[in-house]
Amino acid sequence: MRDRILILSVFIVASCGLAYELIAGALASYLLGDTVLQFSSIIGCYLFAMGVGSHLSRYVKDEDALACFIDVELLVGIIGGLSATLLFAIFAWASAPFRTVLYALVFVVGVLVGMEIPLVMRVLYGRKAEMREMVSRVLTFDYLGALVVSLLFPLVLAPRLGMSRTALLFGLLNAGVALLTARVFDKEIKGTRGIRLRGAIVVIMLIGALAFSSQLTRWAEQSVFGDQIVHAETTPYQRMVITRWQDDLRLYLNGNLQFSTRDEHRYHEALIHPAMQSLPGARSVLVLGGGDGLAVRELLKYKTLEHVTLVDLDPAMTHLFSTSAELTAINEHALTNPRVHVINADAGQWLETDAHSYDAIVIDLPDPSNFALGKLYSVPMYRLVSKHLAEHGYVVVQSTSPYFAPHAFWCVVATLREAGFYTWPYHVNVPSFGEWGYVLASRHDSFTQPDHYDVPMHFLDASSTREMFHFPADMLAPDVEPNRLNNQALVHYFEQDWHRVIR
Amino acid sequence: MPGMAQGHALRDAAKLPPPSADIDCDIVIIGSGAAGLAAAWRLAKEGRRDFIVVEGPEPDGNAAGASMAGQACPTGAHYLPLPSMESRHVREMLQDVGVIVGDAYGRQPEFDERVLVHTPQERLLRAGKWYEDLLPDEVDAPAQRAEHQRFARTIEQLKSAVGSDGRRAFAIPVALSSQDAQWRMLDKLSFRDWLTREGYRSAALHWYANYACRDDYGAGYERISAYAGLHYFASRAGEARNAEPGAVLTWPDGLQSLVRALRARIGFAAGSRLDDRTAPRRMSGFAASVQLKGKGVEALIVQQEGGASRTLRIRARHAICAMPLHVAAHVVNDMPGFGFDAATHLPQSAPWMIANFLMRRFPEERAKSPLAWDNVIYAGKGLGYVVATHQLIRVARPEYTVFSAYDALSERSPQEMRRWLETATPTELLGRAAGDLSMAYEHLWPCVERVDITLRGHGMASPTPGYLSNKGLLALREVDGPLQFAHSDLSGYSVFEEAAWWGEVAARRLL
Ligand SMILES: Cc1cc2nc3c(=O)[nH]c(=O)nc-3n(C[C@H](O)[C@H](O)[C@H](O)COP(=O)(O)OP(=O)(O)OC[C@H]3O[C@@H](n4cnc5c(N)ncnc54)[C@H](O)[C@@H]3O)c2cc1C
């Protein structure tokens, strides 16, 4: 009976072992791209680590083998169980050490798993099982377990539960094996109370993680989860990830969604056309940020426009959106259009040296989530922008969400006013973002909402435009200060507003 | 060590060749620090053209800066507090160079925001953690916190206190402060003794007060007059329409940007045509002697080129002596005749070390704390470090930055510390200079490309107890006639506004 329990453990242990391996491999190819290399190097690392584990098992004394097996199970349970959640978190928060942590985890789990089977065999051998039969039974169940998981994982577990929860589930199985073994063999090992305590802690932690896993994964780049990564790259400036789910292509910068092909037309039409429709003679436009070329695509619809200058910090970004077949299909080769001039520079620094003036200036920069970015939303920055704007021109600024981050949004408005602009804030619903906001600004006090558009639109028309410029009662302006470099009120507003939403 | 060779040559009265030329002018300004340039700016602004500025061994003096790998950085003064109501001369100057853009003489002028220090302004590393304040509230026990609040309240009261003569208790320039005995009495004891007398025990507060004295006066609070200690806190009441209270004005290379702008406004003649009396002129060289001669002043100027030196004689109707007093004491003939006896009246002067670390990348911050403009280490040996690229409007980090570490060498007497500076090996200097930075960063050195160290043996006058009634200084302030004195030393302590004030006073007397 007891031996059967041990053999059953082998079955479970084997399935867990394979599960961690599959999860690590899948995660690596999801998150890092380059599937074949990722998968085979992860498996190689894992198998090698198992070899190390088997070797290490010889240093366990015979009389300790059973207790050691139980401890190994608990360790595998907690480390393997949390591995996927941990990797997601690290990927979302700090891209740099991801690979290191991934391989380290794979190695540690591999070593522990590698110790399991030799230990079980020694326990059975010590219990006078016959060698021939024992080896055959253990290995049969070992491989059976592997078979079960290799089928369950892609068909049921990964799609239904996802990586984090699958790993947590197998962690619980490992811990269960440990506790069961401890219970069945409690006469033969010392310190079962300690084991039970440790086991309880592991189980509680895993169950806790399971309970929060949906929040955890949402918090850790939820949408990468499940979606396939088509491109991932860490540049000196940011981490770019492009994912696909059916016909939806998405760009994430540092884990923040920049666009989804499902609804980016709403965002970009709203960004560009209210200003451009009001500037019939516009000949030159400056775009700050917007390295994906989607704003430029909208601009190029105006045939009278002669020059579009795009200033984006990251050469990797503009390169990717100029060359990748999939992405140039979306931006309609905007960045390689002869009317477009792409410059890779820091927007503020570049403006300080540029001597031209533009009919419209489109500011499509990342949200003001830190002091460095906040500087680009400051009074002096807008004064600088103002110097480059033609007398009758318009500036339009993407200004975060007036619904989720009202203080931040209206702070951008106040900042533009402080810099001497007249402003016309507006907003639009972009389903993948929620309610999103822009501020149109100019040095003169006249702007009439367009009641039609001369270029073809998917979304904008007279009535959607009217709605854009109307702020309903739940989106009224709170009292805010302009964003001065001396206090960067905007960065604080932004942080507080989003904190309130995400909490 | 700017000026040391020339200075010590003067002290040791080296032999000089006879003058190779005579130059006549209306006014000669000897020294091109903040005081000299402020005088020149005022003269130019009021339409005077016929004057010469003699640069001295260090153009811009203690407001000088440098450049490392194309990045400007300070080697002396690095910021200006928001000017007080009394500092009309500084406000006018700031308006003239475009730093004040509106309401120059109001309670809250509007400043060019690029020059107002960007947030985060400062932070303090204490027990391994960065705090946003130099006296962070969250660390100390309630009893200490109560003391800190009491201290803050006292300072707030002193900021607005007005004496029976209608003047503010603690004004900048200090010469415009109230003469009331109730505050002047504070000049009799040290700042430390005052804190103790008033029942302040908090170690953090004592550290902070001591830090402020070392930072602004170059000496520990046990050697600084209580009046000066309080003056530091209570005189800074300037406000801005577009900045928080306590903001400062700063540039990548510190005040050098400001004095450079002043120079542009003065409009020095290009080239070195010293005889063209229709434009302000400046010349290199330092004064070896200055004396009253007939109705005017005669100055002997030494110019060194390569190994050779030549001398020029300047004959002027008026001279403004804008050199430090320890130099003037050797150069100006008959200082005792002006009421100044170097042996008793020379203020104690503090040695300073400014180390500019050229960084090829930004070192990793503890707990991702954002780098501030001024970064201070609690109980650190130095005075922390400022970041030259802080004011840039950039998203990406620049390729290079410069961290400027400041250190007033004050743990022993100034004489002893100067002796140490003269004998210390480069490695010893570097070790000292890197002290604070090594506490802030675990992996500092891989980020450092080069370190340039500037030593200022006589960096600034320290306001020791009794400085308000230093008879020699009071006498020099009043000297009027062919020769005037203008230097921050006249205030008994050293900040840009004081230097500029004496430049202003001297120039006004000549208008
Ligand atoms: C390290 C340091 C940091 C500081 N930080 C600040 C700060 O942040 N904010 C602030 O307000 N103040 C600061 N100060 C003080 C400020 O720099 C000074 O108060 C101000 O620059 C002094 O100007 P000055 O004209 O009085 O004298 P100096 O700067 O001493 O100028 C003296 C001038 O005289 C010239 N000279 C010397 N000898 C001769 C000679 N024989 N003949 C002709 N010319 C001669 C020199 O070349 C120099 O140009 C700091 C000072 C130091 C040392």
- Tokens found for residue A44: 């190689």
Minimum Cα–Cα distance from B112: chain A residue? A380
* β-pairing verdict for A358-364 and A284-289: parallel
- The pLDDT confidence band at residue A222, using thresholds 50, 70 and 90, is very low
Reply yes or no: is the peptide bond before residue B173 cis, omega within 30 of 0: yes
Q: Which domains does chain B have, with CATH numbers?
A: 4-60+254-347+468-510 (3.50.50.60), 142-245 (1.10.405), 348-462 (3.90.660)
Protein residue closest via CA to atom 20 of ligand 1: B496
| Ligand 1 atom closest to the CA of B10, numbered from 1 | 41
- Range with the largest mean pLDDT of A138-152, A213-227, B434-448: B434-448
The answer to whether the beta carbons of residues B51 and B27 sit under 8 Å apart is yes
Q: What is the pLDDT of residue A102?
A: 86
- Range with the largest mean pLDDT of A93-97, A248-252, B228-232: B228-232
Q: Which amino acid is at B462?
A: S
Minimum Cα–Cα distance from A314: chain B residue? B396
Name the B residues in 100-139 with CB < 8 Å from any A CB. Answer: 112-114, 116-121
Q: Who's near A312: CB < 8 A, 6+ residues apart?
A: A288, A289, A290, A291, A318, A342, A343, A344
Q: Which amino acid is at B437?
A: L
The answer to whether the beta carbons of residues B267 and B279 sit under 8 Å apart is yes
Cα A5 to chain centroid distance, Å, stands at 42
Higher pLDDT residue, B470 or A121? B470
Query: What number is the average pLDDT over the span B120-149?
Result: 93
Residues of A within 8 A of B114 (CB-CB) are 380, 485
Cβ-based neighbour number of residue B26 at 10 Å:
16
Protein residue closest via CA to atom 39 of ligand 1: B56
Of A380, A484, A486, the CB nearest to B393: A380
Angle at B116 between CA A499 and CA A384, to 5 degrees: 80
- The pLDDT confidence band at residue B364, using thresholds 50, 70 and 90, is very high
C-alpha span between B36 and B243 (Å, rounded): 30
C-alpha span between A64 and A84 (Å, rounded): 31
Residues of B within 8 A of A418 (CB-CB) are 242
Q: Mean pLDDT, chain A, as a whole number?
A: 88
The answer, yes or no, to whether residue A155 has pLDDT greater than 50, is yes
- The pLDDT confidence band at residue A223, using thresholds 50, 70 and 90, is very low
Ligand 1 neighbour B324 (Cβ under 6 A)? yes
pTM equals 0.80
C-alpha span between A245 and A224 (Å, rounded): 9
C-alpha span between B100 and B97 (Å, rounded): 8
Helix ranges (DSSP H) in A220-293: 264-277
Query: What number is the average pLDDT over the span B274-295?
Result: 93
C-alpha span between A29 and A44 (Å, rounded): 15
- CA A368 to chain B, closest CA, distance in angstroms equals 10
Percent helix, percent strand, percent coil in chain A, to nearest 5: 60, 15, 25
The answer to whether the beta carbons of residues A322 and A290 sit under 8 Å apart is no
- The pLDDT confidence band at residue A219, using thresholds 50, 70 and 90, is low
Q: What is the pLDDT of residue B173?
A: 96
Q: Which domains does chain A have, with CATH numbers?
A: 2-224 (1.20.1250), 228-257 (no CATH), 261-502 (3.40.50.150)
Could you identify the residue written with the tokens 């604080």?
A492
- The residue among B118, B121, B369, B397 with the most chain A CBs within 10 A of its CB, best to mutate, is B118
Could you identify the residue written with the tokens 């507080």?
A496
- Tokens found for residue A372: 């460095």
At residue B474, φ and ψ (nearest 5 deg) are -60, -40
- The pLDDT confidence band at residue A450, using thresholds 50, 70 and 90, is very high
Of A346, A365, A487, the CB nearest to B394: A346
How far CA B14 is from CA of A113, B4, B8, B283, in Å, comes to 85, 14, 9, 22
Q: What is the pLDDT of residue A503?
A: 53
The answer to whether the beta carbons of residues A354 and A388 sit under 8 Å apart is yes
| Ligand 1 atom closest to the CA of B61, numbered from 1 | 29
- Tokens found for residue B135: 């006296």
Query: What number is the average pLDDT over the span B302-330?
Result: 93
The answer to whether the beta carbons of residues A497 and A408 sit under 8 Å apart is yes
- The pLDDT confidence band at residue A220, using thresholds 50, 70 and 90, is low
- The pLDDT confidence band at residue A225, using thresholds 50, 70 and 90, is very low
Pocket test for ligand 1, best of B258, B495, B501, B504 (most atoms within 8 A of CB): B495
Residues of B within 8 A of A348 (CB-CB) are 392-395
A vs B, Cβ pairs < 8 A, gives 70
The answer, yes or no, to whether residue B309 has pLDDT greater than 80, is yes
Catalytic residues of A: 364
Cα A348 to chain centroid distance, Å, stands at 28
Are B116 and A379 inside 8 Å of each other by CB?
Answer: no
Higher pLDDT residue, A166 or B401? B401
Residues of B within 8 A of A370 (CB-CB) are 370
Higher pLDDT residue, B229 or A220? B229
The answer to whether the beta carbons of residues A406 and A478 sit under 8 Å apart is yes
Q: Determine the distance separating the centroid of ligand 1 and the alpha carbon of B495, expressed in angstroms.
A: 9
pLDDT in tens, A105-130: 899 999 999 998 888 888 887 777 67
Residues of B within 8 A of A373 (CB-CB) are 395
Query: What number is the average pLDDT over the span A329-343?
Result: 97
The answer to whether the beta carbons of residues B75 and B64 sit under 8 Å apart is yes
> Among residues of chain B, what percentage have pLDDT more than 70?
99
The answer, yes or no, to whether residue B113 has pLDDT greater than 50, is yes
Q: What is the pLDDT of residue B401?
A: 97
Query: What number is the average pLDDT over the span B283-312?
Result: 93
> Among residues of chain B, what percentage have pLDDT more than 90?
91
pLDDT in tens, A45-83: 999 999 999 999 999 888 888 888 899 999 999 999 988
Pocket test for ligand 1, best of B4, B232, B496 (most atoms within 8 A of CB): B496
Q: What is the pLDDT of residue B13?
A: 60
Q: What is the pLDDT of residue A94?
A: 59
The answer, yes or no, to whether residue A417 has pLDDT greater than 90, is yes
Exposure of A191 in the CB half-sphere (CA atoms within 13 A): 11
The answer to whether B370 contacts chain A (CB < 8 Å) is: yes
Segments of B198-341 assigned E as strands: 248-250, 281-283, 286-293, 296-305, 308-321
How far CA B49 is from CA of B64, B145, B275, B282, B506, in Å, comes to 25, 57, 12, 12, 16
pLDDT in tens, B220-262: 999 999 999 999 999 999 999 999 988 999 999 999 999 999 9
C-alpha span between B322 and B484 (Å, rounded): 9
Instruction: Tell me the ipTM for this assembly.
Output: 0.85
C-alpha span between A280 and A394 (Å, rounded): 12
A229-233, A250-254, A387-391: least confidently modelled range: A229-233
Ligand 1 neighbour B56 (Cβ under 6 A)? yes
Q: According to the 3-state scheme, what is the secondary structure of B106-137?
A: CCCCEECCCCECCCCCEEEEECCEEECCCCCC
Query: What number is the average pLDDT over the span B404-414?
Result: 96
Are A486 and B393 inside 8 Å of each other by CB?
Answer: no
Q: Which amino acid is at A348?
A: G
Are B244 and A372 inside 8 Å of each other by CB?
Answer: no
